[in-house]
Amino acid sequence: MYTQYKRELLEACQSLAEQGYFGAQSGSGGNVSVLIEGEDRVVITPSGMPYVNLTEDDLCVVDMEQRRIEGPHEPSVETALHLSVYRHRRDVNAVVHTHQPYASVFAVLNEPIPALFDEVAISIGPTVEVVPYALSGSPELLANVVSKLDNRNHCYLMQNHGALSIGVRLDKAVQYAELLEKVAAIYWRALAAGKPISVLPDPIPQALFGLVTAKQDAEIARKDRLLSKE
């Protein structure tokens, strides 16, 4: 079941793995999930399996109570985190957690990334904030992530851990992860130059972000209409 969701998830994982977004091309760091339309179920990557070797049959399906519905392996140890994102951000239908290099630089520096380009403000948000550290898979990490979701951004840095990118579709969440890596690499190189950093002037970031929240509201309204028809 859920063949199309599994196929898209596998393709996204393999693309990100080829770019080294999971810590190593042969690594298993990070996790990716997609919400199944019209059902309280999620397709998510299994725990501890290298992405380069994954098949569609390896992927897990769980319900919102974290019960495994399909898949021969244990789902990611951070499944509860993914489910919490879906509960707290109804505009979100895909979650991508990576260990991508440049974003991870700022995760260990505990340093937010400001809005440097229009495309970042209109896609990710005015600032990429840092989620305070907690052990992977712990209730504390889940709570720390949830505490940041109200800013409605699409990307977050996870202190001493990696990055979290979320979106209305899986391809959008992947795109945000890639855009985050671009801006993190540029910001790092700009800081290394030792010269003042030029950020977008106020109120441009918030004005552009209004276009983002409007799309989020439209997705929430779409889901509400579907529920009303059931």
Structural domain boundaries in the chain? 3-229
* 155-158/130-131 β-pairing: parallel
Structure tokens of 46?
Answer: 């299994």
Give the whole-angstrom CA distance, residue 151 versus residue 58. 34
Are 80 and 49 in contact, with CB atoms under 8 Å apart?
Answer: no
Selecting among 65, 78, 140, 178, the annotated active-site residue is 78
Distance between CA atoms of residues 187 and 181, nearest Å:
10
- Look at the block and give the residue holding tokens 């030029």: 198
Closest CA to 182 of 219, 218, 134, 128: 128
CATH class of 3-229: alpha beta
Whole-angstrom distance, CA of residue 69 vs CA of residue 61 = 5
pLDDT given for residue 32 in this prediction: 98
pLDDT at 230: 67
pLDDT tens string, the chain, 230 residues long: the values are 899 999 999 999 999 999 999 987 777 889 999 999 999 999 999 998 999 889 999 999 999 999 999 999 999 999 999 999 999 999 999 999 999 999 999 999 999 999 899 999 999 999 999 999 999 999 999 999 999 999 999 999 999 999 999 999 999 999 999 999 999 999 999 999 999 999 999 999 999 999 999 999 999 999 999 988 76
Is 78 catalytic? The answer is yes
Q: Give the distance, in angstroms, between the CA of residue 190 and the centroid of all CA atoms in the same chain.
A: 25
